[in-house]
């Protein structure tokens, strides 16, 4: 992490952060990754590191470079040191919500190592949050585990602010009755569920993409769980079984998310996180629709999806300016900020986005702490 190099970046950052209560500005979507160095307990599927799986190998190298890891033998420590420094320099009053990541678990409750892209233990992330004031602990617990409720109670004792799922990769069906006891405990403890929605390309989940269908979140919502739909289901198509036989069988994930957001019974219970909505691979006019939905902004919360946001090609300020969402005069400042601090870049970028009518994401979208458990 570096200080912002030029006056354009410094001025833009100051302008973008003005008016925010920075103690409430938390980044709700920050991955912790590791290879197990130093006894962290983290692990990465070997396929991600082998040259004979070229796509996975390229993906692994891109994440490693984006995260600033130069020495694999101390990569876990390097990753955390850089993340903590980035958060401190971006917003010393706020926090990055550091995500644990559970394994893929079979229907019988056993871990499936072959289908686990990576695993980041709860105890490791909880310990990081204890040591670093810049981090908050988000647990990850597969509901099919025999001891899922005990793990959840332990995470609550460790001051977790949410529970993270990536159903497409973990093999979780959020609409399954198997999750009901877990949902009851989440609601009882007041712990929100931060769960991926939409298609997932960042890990290999080709045969399980339908598990990211936002309509499957009716079950936890109806059980009284506060749900944060990561990415607002902004990538890919999902099955739509709610419109009858004459309606199209599929709909954009974003449309299904917006359908749920528009239902009065979920007001104050369903949220969406803005991580990845600025990426070049988003479907259609995602930004335009979210910026225009000003009535929903109080229920949108910001997250970066770090380290993905730190991989240079995934966000294009040129493309955003061409679409009219970024003032071309701000591009130099944004590039200076990106070079210095990808976490700050994500925050500033979303603060300066606007549509043709001048609508921007409201301040409430960035006061993310309000949607999380007060541990």
pLDDT at site 45: 87
Q: Is the pLDDT of residue 300 over 80?
A: yes
pLDDT digit string (tens) for 171-185? Answer: 999 999 999 999 999
pLDDT at site 212: 97
Residue 176, CA distances (Å) to 51, 117, 141, 160, 191 in order: 37, 23, 15, 24, 19
pLDDT at site 82: 95
Alpha carbon distance 80, 294 (integer Å): 36
Q: Which residue has the higher pLDDT, 56 or 92?
A: 92
pLDDT digit string (tens) for 197-213? Answer: 999 875 665 668 999 99
pLDDT digit string (tens) for 325-350? Answer: 999 999 999 999 999 999 999 999 99
pLDDT at site 78: 94
pLDDT at site 70: 83
- Of 73, 135, 66, 133, the residue nearest 99 (C-alpha): 135
Count helices and strands (H / E) in the chain.
Answer: 13, 12
b/e sequence 38-70, b meaning 16+ C-beta within 10 Å: eebebbbbeebeeeebeebeebbebbbebbbbe
The pLDDT-based confidence of 49 (bands split at 50, 70, 90) is low
The pLDDT-based confidence of 55 (bands split at 50, 70, 90) is low
pLDDT at site 364: 98
For the chain, list the domains and their CATH numbers.
Answer: 7-371 (3.20.20.140)
**Backbone phi, then psi, for 272, in 5-degree steps?**
-130, 140
pLDDT at site 28: 99
pLDDT at site 71: 83
pLDDT at site 204: 60
pLDDT at site 146: 97
pLDDT at site 3: 76
Enumerate the β-bridge partners of residue 238: 251
Q: What proportion of the chain, given as a percentage, has pLDDT over 90?
A: 81
pLDDT digit string (tens) for 121-169? Answer: 999 999 999 999 999 999 999 999 999 999 999 999 999 999 999 999 9
Q: Is the pLDDT of residue 375 over 80?
A: no
pLDDT digit string (tens) for 267-279? Answer: 999 999 999 999 9
pLDDT at site 243: 85
Mean pLDDT of 205-226: 92
Q: Which residue has the higher pLDDT, 57 or 191?
A: 191
Q: Which two tokens stand for residue 159?
A: 């001051």
pLDDT at site 2: 61
């Amino acid at each position: 992490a570096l200080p912002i190099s030029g006056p354009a970046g410094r001025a833009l950052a100051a302008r973008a952060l003005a008016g925010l209560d920075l103690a409430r500005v938390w980044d709700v979507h920050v991955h912790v990754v590791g290879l197990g160095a130093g006894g962290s307990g983290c692990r990465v599927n070997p396929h991600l590191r082998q040259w004979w799986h070229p796509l996975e190998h390229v993906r692994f190298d891109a994440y490693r470079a984006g995260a600033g890891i130069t020495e694999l033998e101390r990569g876990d420590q390097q990753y955390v040191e850089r993340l903590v420094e980035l958060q401190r320099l971006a917003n010393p009053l706020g926090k990055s919500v550091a995500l644990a990541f559970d394994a893929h678990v079979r229907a019988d409750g056993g871990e499936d190592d072959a289908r686990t892209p990576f695993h980041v233990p709860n105890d490791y992330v909880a310990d990081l949050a204890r040591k670093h004031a810049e981090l908050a602990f988000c647990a990850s617990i597969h509901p099919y585990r025999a001891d899922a409720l005990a793990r959840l109670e332990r995470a609550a004792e460790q001051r977790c602010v949410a529970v993270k799922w990536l159903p497409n990769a973990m093999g979780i069906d959020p609409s399954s009755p198997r999750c009901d006891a877990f949902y009851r405990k989440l609601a009882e403890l007041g712990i929100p569920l931060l769960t991926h929605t939409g298609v997932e390309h960042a890990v290999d989940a080709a045969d399980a993409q339908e598990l990211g269908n936002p309509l499957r979140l009716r079950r936890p919502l109806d059980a009284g769980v506060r749900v944060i739909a990561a990415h607002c289901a902004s990538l890919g198509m999902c099955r739509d079984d709610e419109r009858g036989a004459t309606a199209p069988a599929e709909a954009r994930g974003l449309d299904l998310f917006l359908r749920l957001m528009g239902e009065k019974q979920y007001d104050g219970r369903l949220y969406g996180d803005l991580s990845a909505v600025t990426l070049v691979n988003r479907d259609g006019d995602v930004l335009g629709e979210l910026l225009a939905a000003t009535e929903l902004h109080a229920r949108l919360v910001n997250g970066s999806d770090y380290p993905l946001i730190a991989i240079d090609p995934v966000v294009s300020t040129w493309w955003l300016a061409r679409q009219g969402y970024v003032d071309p005069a701000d591009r130099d400042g944004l590039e200076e900020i990106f070079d210095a601090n990808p976490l700050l870049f994500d925050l500033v970028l979303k603060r300066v986005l606007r549509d043709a009518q001048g609508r921007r994401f409201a301040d409430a979208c960035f006061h993310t702490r309000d949607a999380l458990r007060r541990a």
